[in-house]
A and B are shown apart, each in its own frame.
Chain A
Amino acid sequence: MTLSLRGVGYRYAGAERPALLDVDLDLGDGEVVGIAGASEAGKTTLCLVVAGIAPRTVGGRIRGTISLDGERIDAWPIHRLGERIGIGFQNPASQLSQVAGTVFEEVAFGPMNLGIAREEIVERSWTALEALRIDALAERDPVRLSGGQQQLVAIAGLLAMRPAHLVLDEPTAQLDPAGTRLVADAIGRLAADGASILVAEQKTDLLATITSRMVVLESGRIALAGRSAEVLADPRLAELGVAEPSAVRLRRLATAAGLDPAPLEEAVGA
């Protein structure tokens, strides 16, 4: 299944300028694609548009076409879209259902709405909780967890849905390095099972390891697109407000200091 955006533009209700312009993007089976860009460059908006939340839930006006395997989905209602495309919001607290009394119920809430057998819901929920090592929190009240724990709970809920397409808006923003690694591994496993995943992130070291392709947004337009290794080595990254990955930065600094980058490259790769 390939999710395709062609010439997509989007303007929030009442906004003077469009938040997205002329965006082309393809998301194929088993692919992890990254979105980078400065704050307010359009990363969150692109996530909302791909997941269909914008304009369906937040209003505003959209142009261009979005299709799933060639079939236009512009007119699909949100519940039909939601069965195919999952989204993880930037603020995990806004993701919580507000009806679940425990973390387990919270994670099971999504799959419960998919009309699958009860045993499978239970099995999927435990698998997701264990994958993110939050099974010990199963009986806790999700509202009373820390921001990082809520982020893991929100992602576990998405994993339990086993969506064909998943959109994640800064999924590791609140997480410590260990939590970040667990989420990176979970994204990798989901993609290996054939899901396609679009992930917006500020952490370029993370994008370098989990994505194969990337786009960099600037004022709502795609400024750079291509294979992640090439995009992340592009000298225009700094002026686009995107941090260079650590390895790229070290190589640049060594070269600028007139040093032979070869031993550095070897040590970085080791």
Chain B
Amino acid sequence: MPDLDVRGLAHVYREGGVRALDGVDLWIAAGERVGIVGQNGSGKTTLVRHLNGLLRPTEGRVTIDGTDASGLMVAELASRVGLVFQDPDRQIFASSVRAEVEFGPRNLGQRGTGLADSVRRALEATGLAGEERSNPYDLGYSRRKLLALASVLAMRTPVLVLDEPTTGQDARGVDRVRRIVAALADEGRTVITISHDMRFVAETCERVIVMRGGRVVLDGTPAEAFAREAWETLRSTYLEPPLAARVGQRLGLGSTPTDAQLIEAMRGGRVHR
């Protein structure tokens, strides 16, 4: 399982000359569940696109398991880091659900029963079993998003990057994504999730990275990232901690970023009225 090491990473887009990343240092250990939050345009997507070689650094470098990513072929990178795009329609191209999900693992050399098994498991996890023959564009937006996720799950990469996986999902869809992240973590895989949903991040990640203006401005556990001391930094990037964190603080219970932690702290009888 690879570690990801990002050193002095900067990226300037050719069009407009925007410096989207401005010196990012980050070390992500194998098996970590990391949430990346920040405003639109703070550099989240630009950062993760360097992890699988979609973008090349203007400055700095990305090392995967000790190997400089810029020295790896795209196919080698794809076998290590799977990236699920925010917009499924930029990813989906096949004319059937099965063909869509088979494409990635087949390119990575999976064949026969191994391939069939990867596809079946990915479709089951995303609730798309039974839709193998459907045309992806007959599925609604939320299910096309789950299909995009399935096609990356089937590649069985040790690292997965999910860009806004819960947008457009209803309550059941969000639960499904939450279970998928948990299952991947149980298998020891690294999961990096970009999200605007602070509750989702607090509940599914063990580490929260806050970005602003192409830099990392906060990096810690959910309890640290959503603690009172961090609120000013969060506010500077227009983020608000989850309700459980705000309520815990008002009740003098310390940092309680998840519902479960808040209830547990209240149960401990530490509520002073």
Q: Which residues of A are at the interface with B, using a C-beta cutoff of 8 A?
A: 37-40, 90-91, 144, 146-149, 170, 173-181, 202, 205, 238, 241-243, 246-247, 249-250, 253-254, 257, 259, 263-264, 267-268, 270
Contact = CB atoms under 8 A, between A and B. Distances in A.
Sorted nearest first, the 10 A-B pairs with minimum C-beta distance are A178-B238, A246-B243, A243-B171, A148-B40, A267-B250, A39-B142, A267-B247, A38-B170, A39-B170, A176-B40
Contacts of A175: 40, 196
Q: Which of B167, B169, B174, B240 has the most CB of A within 10 A?
A: B167
A137 to B, nearest CB: 11
A264 B247 contact: yes
B262 A91 contact: no
A94 B128 CA distance: 26
Contact of A264 (B86, B199, B266): B266
A176 B39 contact: yes
Given A147-B86, A176-B40, 17 more contacts: A38-B172, A39-B142, A39-B168, A40-B140, A175-B40, A176-B238, A177-B196, A178-B39, A241-B171, A242-B170, A242-B171, A246-B199, A246-B242, A246-B243, A259-B266, A264-B266, A267-B250
28 contacts: A37-B170, A38-B170, A38-B172, A39-B142, A39-B143, A39-B169, A39-B170, A148-B40, A170-B168, A173-B167, A174-B167, A176-B238, A177-B238, A177-B240, A178-B238, A202-B170, A202-B171, A242-B170, A242-B171, A243-B171, A246-B199, A250-B243, A254-B266, A257-B263, A263-B273, A267-B251, A268-B243, A268-B247
A59 B36 CA distance: 43
A17 B99 CA distance: 28
B266 A202 contact: no
Given A146-B41, A179-B40, A249 B259 contact: yes
A249 B38 CA distance: 25
B172 A241 contact: yes
Nearest to A181: B238
Contacts of A181: 238
Contacts of A40: 140, 142
B40 A149 contact: yes
Interface string B143-178: 100000000000000000000000111111110000
B239 interface: yes
A181 B235 CA distance: 13
Nearest to B234: A177
Contact of B271 (A37, A146, A148, A263): A263
Contacts of B244: 246, 250
B171 A238 contact: yes
Interface residues of B, number: 39
Nearest to B248: A267
A54 B263 CA distance: 47
A247 B171 contact: no
Contacts of B32: none
Contacts of A91: 141
Contact of A146 (B40, B238, B263, B273): B40
B169 A263 contact: no
Given A175-B40, A176-B40, A257 B267 contact: yes
A263 B263 CA distance: 12
Contacts of A205: 243
B266 A257 contact: yes
Interface in B158-211: 167-174, 196, 198-199
Q: Which of B141, B171, B250 has the most CB of A within 10 A?
A: B171
A42 to B, nearest CB: 11
A38 B251 CA distance: 34
Nearest to B146: A39
Contact of A90 (B40, B141, B198, B199): B141
Contacts of B238: 176-178, 181
Q: Which among B40, B87, B196 has the greatest number of chain A C-beta atoms within 10 A?
A: B40
Contacts of A249: 259
Nearest to B140: A40
Contact of B243 (A39, A241, A247, A263): A247
B136 to A, nearest CB: 15
A12 B87 CA distance: 25
A174 B41 CA distance: 12
Given A149-B40, A202-B170, A250 B262 contact: yes
Contacts of B250: 267, 270
Interface string B199-235: 1000000000000000000000000000000000000
A257 B261 CA distance: 12
